[in-house]
Homo-oligomer: A and B are copies of this chain.
Amino acid sequence: MDTADPLAHLRDQFHLPEKQIYLDGNSLGPLPRATPARVHAVMTEEWGRDIIQSWNTADWMAIPRRVGDKIATFIGAGPGECIAVDALSINVFKVLNAAIHLARADAPTRTVIVSDANNFPSDLYIAESVAASHAGWSLRRVAPEDDMTPHLAPDVAILLLTPVDYRTGRLLDMKQIATAARAAGVLVVWDLAHSAGAHVVDLTNADFAVGCGYKYLNGGPGAPGFLWVNPSIIQRCAQPLQGWLGHAAPFALTPDYTPAPDVQRFTCGTPSILALTALDAGVDTLMAAAPLGGIHALRLKSQLLTSLFIDGVDQFLGSHDIEVVTPRDPAHRGSQVSLRHPTAAYAIVQALIARGVVGDFRAPDIIRLGFTPLYTRFVDVFDAIQAIVAVLDTCEYTRPEFQTRHRVT
């Protein structure tokens, strides 16, 4: 399968540790080979040589939009609609406030944000905070389904969902959900943290989308995220982090704020040019797939990888207390497979890491393995299965050293 894989050579874009099977690109993408030289050049040839003048000579100001335009190509957005900026949680804060601003004008009796009770907690923390800061507003936590109609009550203003469940890998039908929401007069905010670069994103009838730069976009630890706004509403959007770089004319330094006419109005302070440069290099590893079918080809490979892994679990791990919690229909899962072990998920993950198979643990009982199509080989799937079999057959995971909890897990 690797020999026949038209995307196989894309793996060469990455520095991947030898003798390791890295199945955690859904947490932190690996280092692209091009990144160190790109960042070094910005440091020495731009910052180091032209210092302040690089804002003009290297057009640093344009980087958030330039990277945003690249991201747009694989989330189904158009040029000028997307910007690389700030951390994901900050972007969630901005778009939820913008959505409330719109809802207040268009549907003042709607005062509820609906989200997934199992959404990534930071999204819920921010949604709680935003709801609490607007009189009468609240957050309602539900169990999302492709048919969200039962949850689209007349008091609902905003639907904040993450298409891929970060624990189980379950993928929602974005188009069906957003179309039903729009028909019900509900604004849709997508969190694409586990989607951008991982599967085909459908922004039909969506209003806002935000995402993360350090997972499938390979932008490096804590890379800036991104933010997309449906162009039909951008000029009516207001958000409270109205810093100078979201101003229509930042360097006029006028005493009052006038938002930029486009998505630039979702910028606040000065962005890190080094962090954006690394993100740009990371995004380029996905752009390299464009001539080969882009995100559609990557999605196909991702489905083949995860299907092969699930087949392996069924074939070799049937005698163990392991359950596949990710949907078995490849159309309904992201680029990961999660296994449940009732008592020892954490220790199994640690034992696998010791064997060079790097996945992660998600409380309370999830072994989470990401199969990133840009650099994961089919042989890696086979070897990962073999490692799990070995860890379970020998009870290797019961060793004391695998029980110790790390600070970050």
Contact = CB atoms under 8 A, between A and B. Distances in A.
Interface residues of A, number: 85
A87 B271 contact: yes
Taking chain A's interface residues, is the majority helix, strand, or loop, or is none over half, making it mixed?
Answer: mixed
Given A222-B271, A251-B408, A407-B61, A121 B48 contact: no
A60 B135 CA distance: 38
B268 A87 contact: yes
Q: Among A49, A50, A54, A272, which residue has the most Cβ atoms of chain B within 10 A?
A: A272
A130 interface: yes
Contacts of A88: 269-270
Contact of A252 (B53, B253, B271, B363): B363
Contacts of A175: none
A117 B255 contact: yes
Contacts of A22: 51
B271 A274 contact: no
Contacts of A214: 270
B30 A93 contact: no
A80 interface: no
A144 to B, nearest CB: 15
Nearest to A134: B133
Complex copy number for this chain: 2
A225 B269 contact: yes
Given A121-B253, A124-B255, A129-B240, A51 B358 contact: yes
Interface stretch (A3-11, A153-161, A241-249, A306-314): A241-249
Interface in A180-228: 214, 220-225
A316 interface: no
Interface stretch (A35-43, A286-294, A324-332): A35-43
A304 interface: no
Contact of A129 (B242, B251, B353, B358): B242
Contacts of A408: 55-56, 61, 251
A254 B128 CA distance: 13
A24 to B, nearest CB: 5
A52 B272 contact: no
Interface in A110-161: 117, 120-122, 124-126, 128-130, 133, 135, 141
29 contacts: A31-B43, A31-B44, A36-B48, A40-B40, A53-B358, A55-B408, A60-B221, A86-B90, A88-B269, A89-B241, A89-B269, A90-B268, A93-B241, A120-B244, A120-B253, A121-B255, A122-B244, A122-B269, A125-B243, A125-B247, A128-B242, A133-B133, A133-B240, A221-B272, A221-B273, A223-B272, A224-B272, A251-B408, A272-B274
In the A-B complex, the 9 residue pairs with the closest CB atoms: A87-B269, A89-B243, A122-B244, A89-B269, A272-B275, A31-B48, A221-B273, A55-B408, A125-B257
